[in-house]
Amino acid sequence: MQLSEVGEFGLIHRLSAIIGGRGGDPSGVFLGLGDDAAGFQPPENRHLVATADMLVEEIHFRRSWLSSRALGWKALAVNLSDVAAMGGEPHFALVCIAVDSPTSVEYVEGIYAGMQSLAERFGVRIAGGDTVRSRAGLTLSITVVGSVEPERLATRAGARPGDLLVVTGTLGDSAAGCMALLAGPRAAEKVPPSVLEAHRLPQPRIAEARAAVATGAVTALMDISDGLAGDLHHICEESGVGAELDAGAIPLSEACRDAAARLRLDPLQLALTGGEDYELLLAVSPERVDEVRAAITEATGTRTSVVGQIQPAGCQLLLPNGTRVPLSGAGYQHFPSE
Amino acid sequence: MQLSEVGEFGLIHRLSAIIGGRGGDPSGVFLGLGDDAAGFQPPENRHLVATADMLVEEIHFRRSWLSSRALGWKALAVNLSDVAAMGGEPHFALVCIAVDSPTSVEYVEGIYAGMQSLAERFGVRIAGGDTVRSRAGLTLSITVVGSVEPERLATRAGARPGDLLVVTGTLGDSAAGCMALLAGPRAAEKVPPSVLEAHRLPQPRIAEARAAVATGAVTALMDISDGLAGDLHHICEESGVGAELDAGAIPLSEACRDAAARLRLDPLQLALTGGEDYELLLAVSPERVDEVRAAITEATGTRTSVVGQIQPAGCQLLLPNGTRVPLSGAGYQHFPSE
């Protein structure tokens, strides 16, 4: 069905049916679609955290790479991951979407269905936004507002020399999936499906982050979206410290190793610079690291790994042969400088 | 200067210098750029209101029509206007921008300078967002979060039969400016500059709305962004009522009449269906309308006009000759239905 067959307000009506209309729910949103702005009752005694990300067709995704549902899921997931990275709980999302005319109503509905399925899993309400026309391609811009107890708020700025660096899950899977998709459909068929799923349907680590910050022992926290090396540099810069990563300790899945071998890529490089993992990177004082790791695993079953240590200055990578090399922060950049 | 000369993080650094970096200020934002999400301490005993709008080049604006500063101003203003329409005070904004490579760094900086000048006027903090690449054209998506005392929250849903309809300012100026720009540079030179300014630099009516809702007498409120006729239909639909507009009472500026005459357009039609006025439309019980109008004018100097009345059902326009015609809700629609 063409967008012109339903019109803007017809489209909004159809999308409202997917994400729910006016009225209250446990998210705290008491006024959703249908007014100039959404109404939200913030939880008592909490800070709010707010984050926004934009996904542009052919820059961040290709329609041939993922279903409309996966696109909606992923667009929301990257924002939920940013709320997790502050130690927070997400409450509501505002979704802006620019759509070109050849896109079908069903495709747009698929995006919202994918967002809604992830939103329901985390008690998040899609509370508003904007649906507009684009001249070419699809652009999605999502804002998520969440909250966090002030004493649990985690930033990038608190890491101290001696803190151990912990990551959740495995790294590089999403980048391996992305590289397989870039190499074409035949390459994508030959890699383990889990690396494609890691790229298409990232899992925001909200429960993991909540369990970690509840210990009170996390000194810095962020999500790994630009690759471990680049994101570690962000923590170092904001905290005014350096770090050493232990290459042999970086968790790589069998699927990532297998895909990397087929694609003739280095799985460690994928983990360091590939991006889009949406796992957590934590700094924790060494005497409490077991407690934090146990809290994450008991709450969620998610594995954790100690991958390095904060040091006073400088960033380096400890290779398995015992040599140390400087660790560049080069992750993914828009407008890469020359 | 090209975007590639500064890179993504270089651009973010330059923009941070315009909008301010980490650290607290009176807006309640205690953590701005530099982390996964912005941190915000919400005011006590208030509801939050949150709104997002997307502006797409060649759909919502043309670069040749306005300066980069005006573009930034306007993109933020339309969101502040939505916070005003809930009776709220704005606190912070998240700005997502997709930029194509030919755009200069200076142009992007101009957008942020324009946003910042409006933000400062209303005590709003630009607290985060996303800067990404686009393949063609510029897309801006802005979210604003504000707050409102629960008893002052104004929606579209409370209008009752008998309520009088009040608007602020004059209507149609922005549409006249837009039509002049559409007609080309020579036409734009001949219309009064104020209609071009109305289109380029809309003034969000925050102080006007705050004064009005403080009376406790406003039953419904919205901002006029799609034209008076279309927006009145939104109030009628959400409130389950109808309305009669008095064509002779709709406030038209001399500049709008003059521009319309030059463009051979009907100024009343511009006011009814033109859009982008960002004036307020209020429903108020008849016995308190003088009080509400006085409150607005005393607080801000802004004129108000009574333009009609809520009725149980049906929407019509009372013409100066005393006849009544059905009032269509046709304002601007993306994806107009066939």
ipTM of this complex prediction, to 2 decimal places: 0.92
In a domain, B128, yes or no: yes
Q: Residues B184, B213: one domain?
A: yes
Q: Do A8 and A135 fall into the same domain?
A: yes
- Say if the Cβ atoms of B56 and A98 lie within 8 Å: yes
Within a domain: residue A139?
Answer: yes
| C-alpha to C-alpha distances, A250 to A170, A245, B264, nearest whole angstrom | 8, 8, 70
- B-interface mutation test, from A22, A55, A141, most B Cβ less than 10 A away: A141
Quick check: B37 and A51 in contact, CB under 8 A? yes
CB A214 within 8 A of CB A295: yes
Q: How confident is the model at residue A183 (pLDDT cuts 50, 70, 90)?
A: very high
Do residues A168 and A249 both lie within one domain?
yes
Domain boundary among B97, B118, B152: B152
Q: How many CA atoms lie within 13 A of B45 on its CB side?
A: 3
**Model pLDDT, residue B31:** 87
Q: Please, where are the H alpha helices in chain A?
A: 3-19, 68-84, 105-121, 173-183, 185-190, 193-200, 206-214, 228-239, 254-263, 267-273, 289-300
Measure CA of the first residue to CA of the last residue in chain B; give whole Å: 45
DSSP characters for B162-215?
TPEEEEES-SSHHHHHHHHHHH-HHHHHHS-HHHHHHHHS----HHHHHHHHHT
Q: Which of A85, A98, A96 is nearest to A50 (CA)?
A: A85
Q: Do B136 and A136 touch (CB under 8 A)?
A: yes
Integer Cα distance of B40 and A227 in angstroms: 27
pLDDT band at residue A4 using 50, 70 and 90 as cut-offs: confident
Those of residues 4-43 in A touching chain B at CB distance below 8 A are 4-11, 30-31, 34-42
Q: From chain B, pick out residues whose CB is under 8 angstroms from the CB of A219.
A: none
pLDDT at B335: 60
Strand order in the sheet with A304-311: A218-224, A279-284, A164-168, A304-311, A242-246, A315-318, A324-326
Q: Is position A331 within any domain?
A: no
pLDDT digits (tens, 9 = 90+) for A188-207: 999 999 999 999 999 999 99
Say yes or no: B117 and B234 in one domain: no
Nearest to A49 among B38, B156, B334 (CB): B38
The answer to whether position B172 is within a domain reads yes
For B64, counting Cβ atoms within 10 Å of its Cβ (0-12 exposed, 13-18 middle, 19+ buried), the class is: exposed
Task: Compute the distance between CA of residue A25 and CA of residue A31 in angstroms, rounded to an integer.
Answer: 9
User: What CATH number is associated with residue A182?
Assistant: 3.90.650.10
Closest CA to B129 of B170, B167, B99: B99
Mean pLDDT computed over B127-141: 93
pLDDT in tens, A265-308: 999 999 999 889 999 999 999 999 999 999 999 999 999 999 99
When pLDDT is averaged across residues B94-98 and rounded to a whole number, the result is 97
Its domain, for residue B214, covers: 164-326
Helix (H) or strand (E) holding B121: helix B105-121
A145 and A34 fall within a common domain? yes
- Residue A244, pLDDT > 60, answer yes
**Domain co-membership, B112 together with B232:** no
The Cα–Cα gap between A176 and A195 comes to 6
Same domain for B73 and B213? no
User: Nearest CA to A223 among A184, A169, A297, A178?
Assistant: A169
Query: In sequence order, what are the beta bridge partners of A93?
Result: A126, A144
Residue A284 resides in a domain: yes
Q: What is the mean pLDDT of chain B?
A: 93
A9 conformational bin, left if phi > 0, alpha if psi -120 to 50, beta if neither: alpha
Residue environment code for B20-55, b if the CB has 16+ CB neighbours within 10 A, otherwise e: bebeeeebbbbbbbbbbbbbbbbbeebbbbbbbbbb
d(CA A295, CA A207): 10
Distance CA B318, CA B224 (A): 20
Percent of chain A with pLDDT over 70: 96
Domain finish residue from B125, B152, B179: B152
Could you give the dihedral angle defined by the CA atoms of residues B180, B184, B188 and B190, in that order, rounded to the nearest 10 degrees? -110
Is the CB of B51 less than 8 angstroms away from the CB of A146?
A: no
Q: Which residues of B touch A157 (CB under 8 A)?
A: 34-35
**B 213-242 → A contacts, CB under 8 A:** 222-223, 238
Q: Could you report the per-residue pLDDT of B19-35, keeping only the tens digit for each?
A: 875 555 778 898 888 88
pLDDT digits (tens, 9 = 90+) for A71-102: 999 999 999 999 999 999 999 999 999 999 89
Spatial separation of the C-alpha atoms in residues A146 and A42, rounded to whole Å = 9
Region A169-180 average pLDDT: 96
Per-residue pLDDT of A129-174, as tens digits, reads: 999 999 989 999 999 999 999 999 999 999 999 999 999 999 999 9
- Is the predicted pLDDT of residue A332 greater than 60, yes or no? no
- In this predicted structure, what is the pLDDT of residue B330? 67
**A266 touches B: beta carbon within 8 Å:** no
Q: What is the largest CA-CA distance in chain B?
A: 65
Please, what's the b/e burial string for B213-252 (b: 16 or more CB within 10 A of its CB; e: otherwise)? bbbebbbbbbbbbbbbbbbbbbbbebbebbbbbbbeebbb
**Residue B262 reports pLDDT greater than 50:** yes
Q: β-strands A47-56, B89-99: how paired?
A: unpaired
What does the pLDDT average to over B182-203?
A: 95
User: Which of chain B's residues have a Cβ under 8 Å away from the Cβ of A338?
Assistant: 4-5
Domain membership of residue A333 (yes or no) is no
Q: Identify whether A336 is part of a domain.
A: no
Q: Quote the pLDDT of residue A318.
A: 94
What CATH number has the domain bearing residue A55? 3.30.1330.10
Does A283 reach chain B within 8 Å, measured CB to CB? no
**Maximum Cα interatomic distance, chain A, rounded to a whole number of Å:** 65
Residues A27 and A138 in one domain: yes
In chain B, the number of structural domains is 2
Same domain, A15 and A128: yes
Query: So what's the pLDDT on residue A338?
Result: 44
Residue bearing tokens 């495709």:
A107
Chain B residue with Cα closest to A95: B52
Looking at the fold, whether A246 and A138 belong to one and the same domain comes out as no
Mean pLDDT of A30-53: 91
Closest CA to A174 of A114, A119, A225: A225
Residue A16 pLDDT: 87
Q: How far apart are CA B90 and CA B40, in angstroms?
A: 12
pLDDT at B338: 44
pLDDT at B9 over 90: no
Question: pLDDT-derived band of residue A331, with 50, 70 and 90 as boundaries?
Answer: low
pLDDT at B331: 52
Tell me A135's DSSP state.
S
**Residues 6 or more apart whose Cβ sits within 8 Å of residue A114:** A67, A68, A69, A70, A71, A72, A73, A74, A76
Determine the average pLDDT of the residues in A115-121: 95
pLDDT for res B336: 60
Q: Is the pLDDT of residue A231 over 70?
A: yes
Same domain? A185 vs A316: yes
Can you state the angle between helices A3-19 and A105-121, rounded to 10 degrees?
Answer: 10
Both tokens of residue A190?
């030959």
Q: What is the pLDDT of residues B195-215, one digit of tens each?
A: 999 999 999 999 999 999 999
Instruction: Count the helices and strands in chain B (H runs, E runs).
Output: 11, 13
Burial category of A325 from C-beta neighbours within 10 Å (exposed 0-12, middle 13-18, buried 19 and up) = exposed
* C-beta neighbour count of A21 within 10 angstroms: 10
> Given its phi and psi angles, is residue A227 left (phi above 0), alpha (psi -120 to 50 degrees) or beta?
left
**CA of B261 vs chain A CAs: smallest distance (Å):** 31
How far, CA to CA in Å, does A234 sit from each of A239, B34, B36, B170, B312? 8, 8, 10, 50, 59
3-state secondary structure of B92: strand
Cβ pair B136:A133 closer than 8 A: no
User: Residue B335 domain-assigned?
Assistant: no
- Which of A152, A181, A210 is the endpoint of a domain? A152
The C-alpha atoms of residue B105 and residue B131 are separated, in whole angstroms, by: 12
Please give the pLDDT value at position A88. 97
- Report the pLDDT averaged over residues B48-70: 95
Alpha-helical segments (H) within B20-100: 68-84
Per residue in B62-88, pLDDT tens? 999 999 999 999 999 999 999 999 999
Question: Is residue B326 exposed (0-12), middle (13-18) or buried (19+ Cβ within 10 Å)?
Answer: exposed
Question: Is residue A301 domain-shared with residue A190, that is, in the same domain?
Answer: yes
